[in-house]
Structure 1
Amino acid sequence: MWKQAIEDALQKTKANIERFGDLFPHVSENDVYHLNPNTDWTDGFWSGILWLGYEYSGDKAFQEAAQKAVASFKQRLEANVALDHHDIGFLYSLSSKAQWIIEKDENAKQLTLQAADVLMKRWRPKGQYIQAWGPEGDEHNGGRIIIDCMMNLPLLYWAYEQTGDAKYKEVAVIHADLSRRYLVRGDDSSFHTFYFDQENGEPLHGGTAQGYSDGSTWTRGQAWGIYGFALSYHYTKNPLYLETAKRLARYFFDRLPQDDVVYWDFNAPVNEETKRDSSASAIASAGALELLEHLAADDADRAYLENAIQRSMTGLVKSYATIGKPDAQGFIERGSYSVRGGNAPDDFMIWGDYYYLEALVRMEKGIKGYWYE
């Protein structure tokens, strides 16, 4: 089943290389991807798909398209286009860092280190956190962190490993500790965002940007936490990060609905109109696969996670994948970007496609994503 799903995704990717040209997919409308000239936070996921396709198949068409995408990311960084946010890790881990991991291209390594320096500009010494959105001092977003940032920290951990400069790891660890303390709740659910006083770092309150309510648990945020804390454990071996990833995973997978693919928020009222988020299920599955790497053979959570991954991925492949729809641009249907904002609430998400493929090739061939070497 996994191999068939991979082959289907790679066939669609081949078609999309021609379809997209020099542009980058974001989310879809009426099953057609919106494209941009490498200006959005999501553009790394397309290059990540291309690198996964090359690693899995050895097909030079994927490699050439991926290299071309990395060149675009070089131009973007040099021109400083739309980089004033924390998602630099999503952009450059899956483009230039992926190229370094696969090809050991020195220029790709240097580009990725430059990207890490861009991310470091989001560090706020007064508050001791990485600011997610907006300029420093921004009235609304100036003191705000979000759980998504856990997936951007690997860029900083990697930069420390490559350079030996402790500042990268120190910032990543401080931010991970803060996220663990304030974004993860006592019942193992999570806030999407948390606010701090910009002058002294005093905690203020939790909130959300895309969840059902400030106190609800946005499923994609929970999935970011599973994978992000597992990766922080990989880099630091801090057992608290491993424990946190396991807790978040159990909360997520304990709440799978009948078809094993989650709704967009665990607290959203469920009826015939409730939106799903297939991308959240794909991210959580990929994160759980990473988590498995760090569990002993006799760990009580191993069998639980193995079963959860099988359920989640089987649900995606059997009920949400576009297998049998050769003209489809996306791999999995019914992702949601922002249900509250009415922005692509039931469409293809390029990050959903990426994590779906990452999970599949990891299960089939042991190929992981590009969060570490």
Structure 2
Amino acid sequence: MSALADDPTAKPSWAPSALASILDRVAVTHSAVGDRFPLFADPESGTWTTTGRGSWTGGFWAGLLWLRARYTGDPADREAARACTARLAGWAEADTATRGLIFWYGTALAEDDLGLRERAARACLTSFDPALGLVPWGAAFGGPRLLARADGVPGLVPLLATVDTAAAASHLHRHLDLCLAQRPRHWSWQHAPRTGWTADGEPPPGWSRGPAWLLLAMAEAVRHLGAAELAGAADELTPDDLVPLADTAHPDGPRDTSAAAITAAALLDLGRRGRAGAILEELVRSHLTDDGRLVDGCYDLTSGTAVRHELVWGDFFLAYALAVITGLVEAV
């Protein structure tokens, strides 16, 4: 059992060195990728696949750079984080609900968000569809625009809450109503004028990050909307395994450390520090390399993309959770 279960203020002995190793890895990654954004890294070589604009994960790289800047206090690290945040600006008016992930986690730890958080929040509010009760998934990455997806909720709840709490609450509850109303659960729903909402099979029902993303969004609603009633749903969305399967339909398949890290961060926010600590300790003990790489993350099992890799959002949520329990930052 994690030390956090016995003492909520405890700083586990393994946490500071684990955080230091991840943030050291951030410095190595920054030197390697320059102005590009890391996406996933080979588990053996540590070489990153990168993207020029950041895609939906760009905010996590900015967040990692801000965590390193907080840790070191070095002006050069602050400037690197600030420059990365500035490179997110092109996403502010993009047609995607993942602007929540990009701009909340890219700016919530920032010493200077360059005005991007409010700009992005107001642009997302403009995208809010009152008839549907949410900000649609959007067409920025191709495919149908009128989708409701579990990964379009976290980050967007607190981001919208900065400008319109009613819209933030509506966005959350419409997704919860769709994703949690039936079994098997579906993490993506498509809307058509004549037929309304229809479950979509991609991502599949057994997807590890579906419940993790929704749990994180509920934790954000408890913090930023005062929705204390949602805290009771945490157990329902917390997997039995400390590190869940990437897809429960494939019991012999890979696990997904990134889903575990997201879950731990959400549970910390909900005050479930014992379970969060147990997850974090398992990630550090069994999946964090000596040079600070959280491996065994699964980007996309369906396509076979990066199924046992280091993922930038896995690194971020593990580092963020460790930063919270060691007192480097407060929960955002």
Percent identity between matched residues is 23
Q: Which residue of 2 aligns with 1:129?
A: 134
Q: Which residue of 2 aligns with 1:163?
A: none
Gaps of 5+ in 2: 1-13
Q: Which residue of 2 aligns with 1:288?
A: 267
Instruction: Quickly say closer, same or farther: Cα 1:366–1:39, change in 2 above 3 A.
Output: closer
- The answer to whether the aligner puts 1:148 opposite 2:148 as a matched pair is no
CA deviations over 1:301-324 (Å, ceiling 9, x no partner): xxxx3332222111111110012x
Whether the 8 Å contact between 1:362 and 1:368 is mirrored in structure 2 is yes
How many aligned positions are there?
Answer: 315
**Counterpart Cα distance in 2 of 1:208 and 1:55:** 41
- The answer to whether the aligner puts 1:184 opposite 2:151 as a matched pair is no
Gaps of 5+ in 1: 161-167, 293-304
Counterpart of 1:269, as a letter, is H
Quote the offset at 1:72 in angstroms. Answer: 1.6
Q: Which residue of 2 aligns with 1:262?
A: 244
Quote the offset at 1:130 in angstroms. Answer: 1.6
Q: Which residue of 2 aligns with 1:295?
A: none
CA deviations over 1:243-290 (Å, ceiling 9, x no partner): 3334323xx2xx20xxx322102x22322xx11110000000011000
What SS is found at the alignment partner of 1:331?
A: coil
Quote the offset at 1:205 in angstroms. Answer: 3.0
What SS is found at the alignment partner of 1:321?
A: coil
Counterpart of 1:207, as a letter, is D
**Counterpart Cα distance in 2 of 1:348 and 1:133:** 27
Q: Which residue of 1 aligns with 2:168?
A: 172
Q: Which residue of 1 aligns with 2:125?
A: 120
Counterpart of 2:160, as a letter, is L
Counterpart of 1:336, as a letter, is C
Q: Which residue of 1 aligns with 2:230?
A: 241
Q: Which residue of 2 aligns with 1:275?
A: 254
Whether the 8 Å contact between 1:26 and 1:36 is mirrored in structure 2 is yes
Whether the 8 Å contact between 1:84 and 1:133 is mirrored in structure 2 is yes
Q: Which residue of 2 aligns with 1:322?
A: 289
Whether the 8 Å contact between 1:246 and 1:291 is mirrored in structure 2 is no
Give runs of aligned pairs for residues 1-373 of structure 1, distance below 5 A: 1-29=14-42, 31-74=46-89, 76-77=90-91, 83-99=94-110, 103=111, 105=112, 108=113, 110-134=115-139, 141-151=144-154, 152-158=156-162, 160=163, 168-185=164-181, 190-197=185-192, 199=193, 203-211=196-204, 216-249=205-238, 252=239, 255-256=240-241, 260-265=242-247, 267-271=248-252, 274-292=253-271, 305-323=272-290, 326=291, 331-365=293-327, 367-368=329-330, 371=332
Q: Which residue of 1 aligns with 2:7?
A: none
CA deviations over 1:31-84 (Å, ceiling 9, x no partner): 31112222411111111001112223323332121011122223x258x6xx22
CA deviations over 1:123-145 (Å, ceiling 9, x no partner): 2233232211327xx9x623310
Quote the offset at 1:218 in angstroms. Answer: 1.6
What SS is found at the alignment partner of 1:217?
A: coil
Whether the 8 Å contact between 2:212 and 2:260 is mirrored in structure 1 is yes
- With normalisation by structure 2, the TM-score equals 0.86
Counterpart of 2:251, as a letter, is V
Counterpart of 1:31, as a letter, is G
CA RMSD, Structure 1 to Structure 2 (Å): 2.4
Quote the offset at 1:220 in angstroms. Answer: 0.9
What SS is found at the alignment partner of 1:3?
A: helix
Quote the offset at 1:24 in angstroms. Answer: 0.8
**Counterpart Cα distance in 1 of 2:300 and 2:200:** 15
What SS is found at the alignment partner of 2:48?
A: strand
CA deviations over 1:91-118 (Å, ceiling 9, x no partner): 122334432xxx3x4xx36322111133
- With normalisation by structure 1, the TM-score equals 0.77
Counterpart of 1:278, as a letter, is T
Whether the 8 Å contact between 2:100 and 2:153 is mirrored in structure 1 is no
Moved over 6 A (4+): none
**Counterpart Cα distance in 1 of 2:116 and 2:259:** 29
What SS is found at the alignment partner of 2:115?
A: helix
**Counterpart Cα distance in 2 of 1:150 and 1:312:** 23
CA deviations over 1:140-190 (Å, ceiling 9, x no partner): 6233101112212211112x2xxxxxxx32221111111121212467x84
**Counterpart Cα distance in 1 of 2:284 and 2:50:** 25
Whether the 8 Å contact between 1:44 and 1:91 is mirrored in structure 2 is yes
**Counterpart Cα distance in 2 of 1:284 and 1:331:** 18
Q: Which residue of 1 aligns with 2:8?
A: none
Whether the 8 Å contact between 2:91 and 2:99 is mirrored in structure 1 is no
Quote the offset at 1:240 in angstroms. Answer: 3.5
**Counterpart Cα distance in 2 of 1:241 and 1:129:** 19
Counterpart of 1:312, as a letter, is I
Whether the 8 Å contact between 1:122 and 1:132 is mirrored in structure 2 is no
Whether the 8 Å contact between 1:24 and 1:43 is mirrored in structure 2 is yes
Q: Which residue of 2 aligns with 1:301?
A: none
Counterpart of 2:210, as a letter, is G
Counterpart of 2:197, as a letter, is L
